[in-house]
Amino acid sequence: MTSPTTSKTTHRGWVTAAILLSMFMTAIEITIVATAMPRIVADLGGFALLSWVFSAYLLTQVVSIPIYGKLADLFGRRPVFTVGVILFLIASILCGRATSMGQLIAFRFLQGIGGGAVQPIGATMIGDLYPPHERHKVQGYVGSVFAISSLVGPALGAAIVELGHWSWIFYLNIPLGIAALVILSVFLHEVKQPRKHRLDVGGGILLVLATSVLMIALLEGGTAWPWLSWQTGGCLIASASLYFALYKVESRVAEPILPLWIFKHPLIVIAGIATFLNGALMIGYSAMIPTHVQGVLGQSALAGGLTLSAMSIGWPIASYFSGKMIARTGYKKAANFGALLLFLGATAVVLLDHSSAIFIAMAVFFIGAGLGLQMNAYVITIQSSVPWNERGVATANNMFMRTLGSSVGVAAFGGVLNSTISAKLHGVELNLSGERGIDSVNKLLNGGSNVPAAARAAIVDALSSGMGSVFVAAALISLVSLTVTFALPAKVEARG
């Protein structure tokens, strides 16, 4: 077993900086890619595959997070974290060199495998480095990393596609990752005790298969085949069967990837459900807002990026004050208030989606504030409620639920968007050479200069309807999230 990292052997400031740098590198991948996606689609084609660019990254992240969390408890934080960063950097280079949408999606799968180690183990190492009375402040910094990445990502992505080639959104990861690896190799020290381990290979395989089949059902339903079809039903049944098999396996193995005790911990379970829903909303808005601003409102890539950035302005503000609010009022009230802000912001997006980018930005500001408050409250409280040797699994589980929510969310929202657009354009004659149905959105996002006025109006109307359906679905999810937070335990026993 690996003993906790302590300040006696580790320079906490340098290690914390390296962890935050690595987490920023992986977190920014969502927002920076979201802003650049219209240009990527225009260059590589394949608008119908847009959701897969996000889902590929999130899918492999979500299935690898609990595996990495368990490995970190067994073999130590640093070696697992290092492997994840190296894989992420290799995949980033490959993404930048992709020449087709299929290649980009394949390399995003690999990038997600690396990213799955960085965020949960980074948060776990923060929990190891700092005692409970200091975690409120430091986890506020962690929350701010996601906020800053969401703030910088859209603007940086917009600047890159306006001034250069979109491939640089991936190449920018290289210096960040190398710097983090060098700092950790010098300043992070762990004391290890030899021990034999039994890896849960069967559980890991079942987790990958179950989640992958679910993603296929959500992404292809309503596009490649109808929602009410044997293909969709077959995928959902197969996924449910695989998850049941995973449950049976995890109840028998000595060192399960997903220990069943976490499903008996009230805080972890309820916070996990809320985190799942919040993850879906976070990626939903990150993926859809820039395309909505550019495609429906007719604004520039920079305007789309700045609109999404407003969500992140609320996030760091909420993260900064979250520690003090949690200490003063308790984590549950902080989570309740965050969920309320999230619901109000989601409702405002539905009401203001056709007004202007400025009003949408004001709405997503509250969404960011709500997410920042909740995520800090959950991570801080969960880490304090379990001992050190369970902290990696507990933290990874919360990150797993958020990433699973993001993966399911982008698949579901993408499915709603694609099916709505396909239905609106069904039978409509656009008179566009080489582009039909949903693929006609490619030309719209490429500037639409060669698109006849009548065809352009039809495409914008279809995209607008699709985005409207997505925003309504997101508002309903935010209402469910608000309801779930009231079921959180009022008090939690501190154990670590």
Q: Are residues 264 and 163 in the same domain?
A: yes
Q: Position of tokens 């003090």?
A: 324
- Other beta carbons within 10 angstroms of residue 358's beta carbon come to 12
Q: Are residues 347 and 375 in the same domain?
A: yes
pLDDT on residue 3: 46
Beta bridge partners of 221: 225
Burial (CB count <10 Å: 0-12, 13-18, 19+), residue 426:
exposed
Rg (CA), the chain: 22
Q: Are residues 311 and 400 in the same domain?
A: yes
464 occurs within a structural domain: yes
310 occurs within a structural domain: yes
Cβ(142)–Cβ(126) under 8 Å? yes
Q: Are residues 33 and 103 in the same domain?
A: yes
Res. 2 pLDDT band, cuts 50 70 90? very low
What three-state secondary structure class fits 130? coil
Rounded Cα–Cα distance for residues 142 and 303 (Å): 27
Q: Are residues 442 and 334 in the same domain?
A: yes
Q: Are residues 240 and 270 in the same domain?
A: no
Cβ(77)–Cβ(128) under 8 Å? yes
Q: Are residues 245 and 268 in the same domain?
A: no
Structurally, the chain folds into a number of domains equal to: 2
494 occurs within a structural domain: no
Q: Are residues 399 and 448 in the same domain?
A: yes
- The 10s digit of each residue's pLDDT in 262-300 is 778 888 888 889 999 998 898 788 878 888 888 888 887
CATH code assigned at 473: 1.20.1250.20
Q: Which two tokens stand for residue 29?
A: 């991948």
Q: Tell me which of 234, 252, 270 is where a domain ends.
A: 252
Q: Are residues 222 and 347 in the same domain?
A: no
CB within 8 A of 495, min separation 6: which ones?
384, 385, 386, 387
- The 10s digit of each residue's pLDDT in 169-189 is 899 889 999 999 999 888 887
Q: Are residues 334 and 213 in the same domain?
A: no
59 occurs within a structural domain: yes
For 219, the domain range is: 203-252
Q: Are residues 106 and 240 in the same domain?
A: no
pTM: 0.70
Q: Are residues 396 and 443 in the same domain?
A: yes
CB within 8 A of 349, min separation 6: which ones?
285, 360, 363, 364, 367, 471, 474, 475
